[in-house]
């Protein structure tokens, strides 16, 4: 709206003469610069919130970190959109922390993160693999072992295709699938179902 208003004023000034145009051009350029500085400041604020939140995570203060990471994620979404790499990184930080204190709240964010990573980077990217691991961990924390197993088997298959069967990450995925089977067996023996 501000740009439209300035554009109308600029057109009127053009009719008034060259001096009026120069003055309005300066004001318009200053306004655009000022808006750009405000966005840069907001980006810095979001990055600062994220850094402060992750510092709390490193100290094991997960519950205290969640509000900062939620604010950082919200700021990234608002400023850059949900598909921007900084936003996806911020979402991943929030998921990996939130799952430790409130796993049920982490579930929709983890599912969204995986969907966005697949769209942005494709099925076989390291970022997509990390998002799959995060969602698998959320399933584990919620005792949804069958869903965790299905996702971990898919991750194992993708890693073997991409990295080879003897790559350390492929072997880690194989270990994860074995643990998933143990969890399912334990759940079956105990007679509980998720």
Question: Burial, 77: exposed, middle or buried (Cβ in 10 Å; 0-12, 13-18, 19+)?
Answer: middle
pTM beyond 0.85: the answer is no
Query: Which residues have C-beta within 8 Å of that of residue 142, sequence separation ≥ 6?
Result: 103, 104, 107, 194
Q: Indicate the pLDDT class of residue 193, thresholds 50, 70 and 90.
A: low
User: Of 10 and 13, which is predicted with more confidence?
Assistant: 13
pLDDT for the residue numbered 188: 82
Question: What does the CA dihedral 46, 50, 51, 56 come to, rounded to 10 degrees?
Answer: 140
Q: Which of 65, 5, 66, 58 is nearest to 31 (CA)?
A: 5
What is the average per-residue pLDDT within 93-98?
Answer: 97
**How many whole angstroms separate alpha carbon 141 and alpha carbon 61?**
18
């Amino acid at each position: 709206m501000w740009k439209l208003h300035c554009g109308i004023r600029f057109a009127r000034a053009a009719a008034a003469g060259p001096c009026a145009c120069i003055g309005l051009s300066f004001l318009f350029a200053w306004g655009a610069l000022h808006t750009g500085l405000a966005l840069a400041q907001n980006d810095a604020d979001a990055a600062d919130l994220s850094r402060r939140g992750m510092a709390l995570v490193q100290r094991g203060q997960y519950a205290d970190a969640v509000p900062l990471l939620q604010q950082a994620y919200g700021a990234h979404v608002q400023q850059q959109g949900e598909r921007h790499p900084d936003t996806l990184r911020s979402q991943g930080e929030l998921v990996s922390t939130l799952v430790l204190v409130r796993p049920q709240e982490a579930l929709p964010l983890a599912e969204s993160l995986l969907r966005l990573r697949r769209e942005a980077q494709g099925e076989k990217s390291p970022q997509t693999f990390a998002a799959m691991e995060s969602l698998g961990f959320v399933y584990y924390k919620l005792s949804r072992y069958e869903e965790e197993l299905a996702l971990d088997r898919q991750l194992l298959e993708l890693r073997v295709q991409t990295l080879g069967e003897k790559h350390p990450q492929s072997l880690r995925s194989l270990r994860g699938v074995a643990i998933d089977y143990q969890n399912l067996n334990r759940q079956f023996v105990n007679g509980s179902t998720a």
